[in-house]
Structure 1
Amino acid sequence: MKRFLIFAVKTLVLLFLLLVVLDFLYTTVYVQSSNRGKIDYVYNSAAREYDVVILGSSRANNHFVAPMFEEKGLKTFNFGMSGGHLFEASLLLKLMVERKYTIKNVILEADLNLSNEKRDEGVSSRFLPFIHDSKTIRNHFLKEADFKELYYIPFYRYVAFDSKIGFRELYKTVSKEPTTNLAHLGYYPLVKKKGNMKNNLTNLKPLRNKYYEEIKQLCKDNNINLIAVMTPMCTNTKGLNYFEKVQQCYPEIYNYEKAVEGDQYFSSCGHLNDTGARRFTSVIIKDFFNR
């Protein structure tokens, strides 16, 4: 029995040490990467200057054509992230400020994402390799229900989010496999082929969203002009009065839900195709950046 206990203790100690070593190796790789996605692109950078930074979910990523801003002489990058919530948008802006970015304008897609304060598991996991290296990231996750496991258990985060930051992504990062995440200045164009052209927003309710409030405060504290907008939806959507509720909650958010109309401009009910995105971006440039 004594031998068994000694063996069990040794096994547990070795397992713990293995987890520590693996955690260190994975983290070392990720903290040196800057070309796989928008999060590491920001994290491993310093003091960039932008006239326009775009933040939000896929409804930012697919709707704002960053090269069109550049054609007007506005240095721009679209940091919208498919699936992302305001939780991730706020944290990304915090990292930019921490790295002393000079930003004149932030265009924030603030519409459907106002209805929750949850993190997106997939997108937020991309920040986790840096959680021990960054107080900003640690503090942002501090009140999450699984923070203790993510922060204190070696290698746990890499196992829990294996599909996003596990071995496969590690290998691609080491081999410097290119992605499309940073192409077109962060804008991701959608093809004309239509997906689901129906949507129902009836049960959505905009919140006094803490992460939207964080973004507003960050912009105010750093002399950044915040342009918060609601972006187009297809006409075959139930509960479009959601956008009116957003303006009642936050009158400063500009309602562009009807800025582009016609199914031919949509890839799915909530996402413009490339043609629609270009029409929408033209409207935004005309309304806010007409020189």
Structure 2
Amino acid sequence: MKKFLIFIAKILVVVILIVIALDGFYTYVFLHSKNRGKIEKVFNSKEEKYDVIILGSSRANNHFVAQMFEDKGLKTFNYGMSGGHLFEASLMLKLMIERKYEIKNVILEADLNLSNDQESEGVSAKFLPYIHNSTVIKQHFASQKDFKELYYLPFYRFIKYDGKIGFREVFHVLEGEKTNPLDNLGYYPLVKHKSGNMKNNIVNLNPLPHNKYYEEIKNICRTNHINLIVVMTPMCENVKGMNYFDKVKNAYPEIHNYENVVIEDKYFSSCGHMNDEGARMFTSRILKDFFDINK
């Protein structure tokens, strides 16, 4: 029996050493990744200077044409993340400040995501390889229910989110394989799809009276003397519950409502996402209204 227990103990020690080694190896790989995505781009950089940073969900990623800002002499990057919530937008801005970015203006898309203050697991997982190497990432996740497992159990985060930061992603990083999120200065243009869903129902959607992560973004900008421009972006014509945007305006009067600037279906790829033509119309309006720049 004693020999058996010793044997089991040795196996456990070997397993623990293996997971610690794998955790260290995976982390090392991600610490040297720069061309796979926006989070890696920020984490593995420092002291960047921008005139305009764009944050938000896919409704930022697909709606703000960064090159149009650049063409007007404004150094810009679109850090909108498809599927992301304000949880991730706030963390991205915190990470930029931690990396000593100098930012003059932040344009934040904040409309539908004001209705929740939850993380988007598929997006937030991409921050986790760096949780031991960034104070702001650690603190941002500290309030999540599985923080202790993610932080203290070696390799746990890579197993739990294998589809996002597991073996396949590590392999692609080692191969130096690029992805398209960094193309077009972060802007992802969409085309008009015949099969695109041109109907939406947001009748039951309500903005939170106090969205924690939206308030964080406002405080970060105030503390770091960054001009914050918060906008609601367009949706197609066939949306039920468009009074949601009025609810947002009532709850957060400082947010600029642009939901009706572009409305015709021909300018949309799907009901919640404009195509490239619509995005260019919208971006022109933003440039004109906030940067005193005409088309």
Q: TM-score, normalised by structure 2?
A: 0.97
Aligned position for 1:126: 126
Deviations 1:170-225 (A, max 9, x none): 01111110111100000000111141111111111101101000000000011100
Q: How far apart, in 2, do the equivalents of 1:10 and 1:133 lie?
A: 30
Aligned position for 1:237: 239
Aligned position for 2:263: 261
Matches within 5 A, 1:24-173: 24-173=24-173
Q: How many residues align?
A: 291
Residue 25 of structure 1 deviates from its aligned partner by 0.2
1:200 maps onto 2:201 in alignment: yes
Q: Secondary structure of 1:117's partner?
A: coil
Q: How far apart, in 1, do the equivalents of 2:286 and 2:233 lie?
A: 10
Q: Identity of counterpart residues, as a percentage?
A: 67
Q: TM-score, normalised by structure 1?
A: 0.99
Residue 17 of structure 1 deviates from its aligned partner by 0.7
Once superposed, what is the RMSD of the aligned Cα atoms?
Answer: 0.8
Q: Secondary structure of 1:196's partner?
A: coil
Q: How far apart, in 2, do the equivalents of 1:266 and 1:192 lie?
A: 6
Aligned position for 1:286: 288
Q: How far apart, in 2, do the equivalents of 1:157 and 1:3 lie?
A: 34
Question: What 5-or-longer segments of structure 2 have no aligned partner?
Answer: none
Q: How far apart, in 1, do the equivalents of 2:7 and 2:120 lie?
A: 41
1:7 maps onto 2:35 in alignment: no
Residue 290 of structure 1 deviates from its aligned partner by 1.6
Question: What 5-or-longer segments of structure 1 have no aligned partner?
Answer: none
Q: How far apart, in 1, do the equivalents of 2:232 and 2:257 lie?
A: 5
Q: Secondary structure of 1:181's partner?
A: helix
Q: How far apart, in 2, do the equivalents of 1:28 and 1:154 lie?
A: 14
Q: Secondary structure of 1:219's partner?
A: helix
